[in-house]
């Protein structure tokens, strides 16, 4: 099945435009608020709240075009789901931490909380695009409205939120959505019930040999797919929320109709021109025709 006849196509409408990182409207928050450690993803150590040495006066990255080549692959994987511009332009009124140094710490503290909320907005917005989720549509809409309300609070209030409790409540709805959608997709895709494999959250599939595997409608929530061989695998209708795709080989894999896949997951994987993607996500620029990364 091609990516143009996805059984449950995801809308790419304006409602998602604010759920993607827009560096032009952000005060370089991912480059300042977050820590990183020297590793395969980062060439050096940086503490939380310390500006990256590559951050310029205009909050742009001075080495953006060569990040992967100089050892900052992690930067090319990350996405804030639009939290950066929300904190910069709304929560702190467009006044940067350089203009108002006293705002630096609260701004940096709010940013990771806002990212969690925006990630939930992404998942809830996606859930509402699935016709089989109609029985819980009212609940999903209420959760979306409440999550959006939380993102509009002032900084002090946001820092006092019990985001874990809110996330747990939203996750219950997303799990219900997954069951409804995968049940229907199993019939639409005519996937054998015996192949609707349930691995469970946190399944260890690191380095797994899954080339050409029939994973239609599988539950891969939170699975560790690090360096897994998923070449030509069929992942249509699979729930991929939270799955770790670092260095997973998804060349020629079919991910159309997969549930809750994010740009971050794709950025972390190795794909090629033959990888079939949901219409709301972009083919990473660092993917080559051969999938080399």
DSSP per-residue letters across 199-222: --TT-B-TT-B-TT-B-TT-B-TT
In this structure, are residues 184 and 204 in contact, taking their beta carbons and an 8 Å threshold? no
* Model confidence at 293: pLDDT above 50: no
Write out pLDDT tens, residues 97-112. 999 999 999 999 999 9
DSSP letters for 70-101: TT-HHHHH---TTHHHHIIIIITTT--TTTSG
SS3 of residue 43 by DSSP:
coil
Identify the band that residue 228 occupies on the pLDDT scale cut at 50, 70 and 90: very high
CATH number of the domain located at residue range(s) 193-293 in this protein: 2.160.20.80
d(CA 112, CA 84): 9
* Model confidence at 186: pLDDT above 50: yes
* Model confidence at 289: pLDDT above 70: no
Residue 147 to residues 125, 167, 293, Cα–Cα distance (Å): 11, 9, 36
* Model confidence at 266: pLDDT above 60: yes
Write out pLDDT tens, residues 30-51. 999 999 999 988 989 999 999 9
Average pLDDT, integer, range 262-279: 95
Q: Tokens in use for 41? A: 């993803």
- The domain ranges of the chain are 16-185, 193-293
What is the pTM for the complete model shown? 0.89
SS3 of residue 224 by DSSP:
strand
% pLDDT > 90, the chain: 77
Residue 45 to residues 53, 78, 161, Cα–Cα distance (Å): 11, 17, 30
């Amino acid at each position: 099945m091609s990516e143009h006849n996805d059984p449950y196509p995801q809308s790419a409408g304006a409602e998602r435009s604010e759920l993607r990182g827009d560096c032009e409207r952000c005060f370089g928050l991912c480059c300042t608020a977050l820590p990183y450690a020297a590793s395969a993803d980062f060439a050096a150590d940086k503490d939380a709240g310390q500006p990256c040495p590559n951050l310029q006066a205009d909050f742009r990255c001075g080495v953006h075009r060569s990040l992967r080549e100089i050892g900052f692959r992690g930067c090319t994987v990350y996405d804030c789901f639009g939290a950066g511009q929300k904190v910069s332009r709304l929560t702190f009124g467009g006044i940067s931490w350089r203009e108002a140094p006293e705002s630096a710490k609260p701004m940096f503290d709010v940013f990771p909380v806002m990212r969690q909320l925006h990630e939930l907005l992404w998942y809830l917005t996606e859930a509402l695009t699935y016709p089989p989720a109609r029985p819980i549509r009212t609940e999903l809409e209420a959760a979306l409205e409440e999550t959006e309300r939380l993102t509009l609070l002032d900084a002090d209030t946001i820092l006092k939120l019990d985001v874990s409790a809110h996330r747990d409540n939203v996750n219950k709805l997303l799990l219900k959505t997954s069951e409804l959608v995968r049940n229907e997709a199993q019939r639409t895709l005519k996937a054998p019930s015996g192949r609707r494999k349930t691995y469970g959250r946190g399944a260890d599939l690191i380095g797994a040999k899954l080339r050409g595997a029939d994973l239609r409608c599988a539950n891969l929530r939170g699975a560790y797919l690090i360096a897994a061989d998923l070449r030509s695998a069929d992942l249509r209708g699979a729930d991929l929320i939270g799955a770790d795709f670092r260095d997973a080989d998804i060349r020629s894999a079919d991910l159309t109709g997969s549930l809750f896949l994010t740009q971050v997951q794709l950025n972390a994987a190795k794909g090629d021109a033959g990888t079939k993607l949901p219409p709301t996500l972009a083919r990473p620029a660092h993917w080559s025709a051969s999938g080399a990364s």
